[in-house]
């Protein structure tokens, strides 16, 4: 009887998980199919779940009539540089908060947490004026600077949690052998921290890659647009270019998938090990 109940429970779990997987994957499938349909089939009724004629015209239009290659390059530059800077600052800041006891450490942590609770649009007006005064509007450097400022507090908090899971005895042993604190951190602690560093980098990269609100506010020139801003231009007053939108979505997913695949062995371990401690 117990064996039968276990089999039934396993079957129910498999059905539920399978149904959930289909619900999760169907939007991605539909975007891919839409990108391969001719314009005449996108709105055809009844709906076609596979194009009658596979076409790549929407992908060709992206690179023929729009500077999508430029937008893709801009997004890669902004996301990689900003994520790299955020992760580097997070590594150093997290180490400082985890290993050094100094007056105001609790206040710094509280300030970092509070910044994550404040809606960004509250500071949008002053931030726009500041960017204008610094001549950083329509510049990728300005967008990267804003992303770094936005993500550093969270990255520092996450990295602090990772550092607190690494025994201090590892560093002390290295220092006993003659290593300085910096050398002990670089050669002993950071190799142990690679899963956390990878998880933090992935988080920062994805946030920068998908961000639209700030990008559309500070970027207006064609040569500085990122992919989210470019995709937003497919929505006009009277129409939405669903074919180009779908093709752009498929292309924009590829770099993220490649990045996840490249460091996949660190992701699960890093995301599960980085709980924030009080």
Q: In 10 A of CB 88, how many CB atoms?
A: 15
Give, as one character, the DSSP assignment of residue 222: G
| 233-258 pLDDT tens trace | 888 778 888 888 888 889 888 888 88
Q: Evaluate whether residue 178 is within a structural domain.
A: yes
Strand partners, 121: none
Q: Is residue 43 part of a domain?
A: yes
Pick the last residue of a domain from 55, 75, 95.
55
The pLDDT tens digits for 123-153 are 788 888 888 888 888 899 999 999 999 899 9
Give the range of the structural domain holding residue 238, as residue numbers without chain letter. 63-273
Three-state DSSP state, 212:
coil
Residues 25 and 93 in one domain: no
Residue 98 confidence (pLDDT) above 70: yes
pLDDT of 97 above 70 = yes
Q: Which two tokens stand for residue 220?
A: 């207006």
Contact residues for 108 (Cβ-Cβ < 8 A; gap 6+): 97
Whether residues 93 and 227 fall in one domain: yes
Using alpha carbons only, how large is the chain's radius of gyration in Å?
24
d(CA 177, CA 179): 6
In a domain? residue 175: yes
Rounded to an integer, what distance in angstroms lies between the CA atom of residue 181 and that of residue 158? 21
pLDDT band at 83 (very low <50, low <70, confident <90, very high): very high
Tell me, what's the pLDDT at 168? 83
* Sign of the torsion angle spanned by Cα atoms 140, 146, 149, 151: negative
Tell me how many domains the chain contains: 2
Query: CA-to-CA distance for 89 and 109, rounded, in angstroms?
Result: 15
Domain presence at residue 278: no
Answer yes or no: do 252 and 181 share one domain.
yes
CA count, 13 A, side-chain hemisphere, 172 = 5
Mean local confidence (pLDDT), 266-270:
59
pLDDT, residue 34, reads 86
Is the domain of 9 the same as that of 113?
A: no
**pLDDT greater than 90 at residue 99:** no
Q: Which helix (H) or strand (E) holds 265?
A: helix 264-273
Q: Return the pLDDT at 2.
A: 61
Is the domain of 22 the same as that of 142? no
- Assign 3 a pLDDT band (cuts: 50, 70, 90): low
For residue range 18-48, what is the model confidence (pLDDT) as tens digits? 999 888 888 888 888 888 888 878 877 787 7
Return the pLDDT at 267: 63
pLDDT value of position 85: 96
Are residues 239 and 123 located together in one domain of the fold? Answer: yes
CB 142 within 8 A of CB 81: no
Residue 93 lies in a domain: yes
Of 55, 72, 88, the domain-final residue:
55
Question: Is 38 found in the same domain as 156?
Answer: no
Q: Which is more confidently placed, 70 or 105?
A: 70
Q: What is the mean pLDDT of residues 192-203?
A: 87
Alpha-carbon span 209 to 231, nearest angstrom = 13
Same domain, 229 and 193: yes
User: Whole-prediction pTM value?
Assistant: 0.82
Is residue 157, in this structure, part of any structural domain at all? yes
């Amino acid at each position: 009887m117990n064996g039968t109940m276990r089999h039934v429970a396993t079957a129910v779990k498999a059905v539920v998980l399978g149904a959930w997987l289909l619900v999760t994957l169907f939007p991605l499938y539909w975007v891919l199919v839409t990108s391969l349909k001719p314009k005449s089939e996108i709105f055809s009724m009844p709906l076609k779940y596979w194009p009658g004629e596979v076409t790549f015209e929407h992908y060709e239009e992206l690179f023929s009539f729009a500077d999508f290659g430029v937008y893709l390059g801009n997004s890669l530059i902004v996301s990689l540089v900003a994520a790299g800077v955020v992760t580097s600052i997070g590594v150093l800041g997290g180490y400082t908060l985890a290993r050094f006891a100094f007056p105001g450490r609790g206040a710094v942590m509280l300030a970092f947490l509070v910044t994550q609770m404040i809606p960004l649009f509250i500071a949008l007006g002053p931030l726009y004026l500041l960017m204008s005064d610094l001549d950083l509007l329509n510049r990728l450097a300005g967008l990267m600077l804003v992303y770094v400022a936005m993500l550093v507090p969270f990255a520092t908090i996450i990295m602090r949690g990772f550092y607190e899971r690494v025994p201090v005895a590892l560093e002390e042993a290295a220092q006993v052998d003659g290593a300085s604190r910096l050398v002990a951190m670089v050669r002993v602690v950071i190799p142990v921290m690679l899963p956390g560093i990878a998880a933090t980098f992935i988080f920062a990269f994805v946030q920068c890659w998908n961000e639209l609100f700030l990008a559309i506010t500070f970027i207006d020139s064609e040569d500085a647009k990122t992919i989210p801003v470019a995709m937003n231009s497919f929505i006009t007053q009277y129409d939405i270019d669903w074919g180009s939108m779908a093709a752009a979505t498929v292309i924009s997913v590829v770099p993220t998938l490649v990045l996840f695949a490249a460091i996949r062995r660190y992701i699960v371990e890093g995301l599960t090990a980085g709980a924030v401690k009080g």
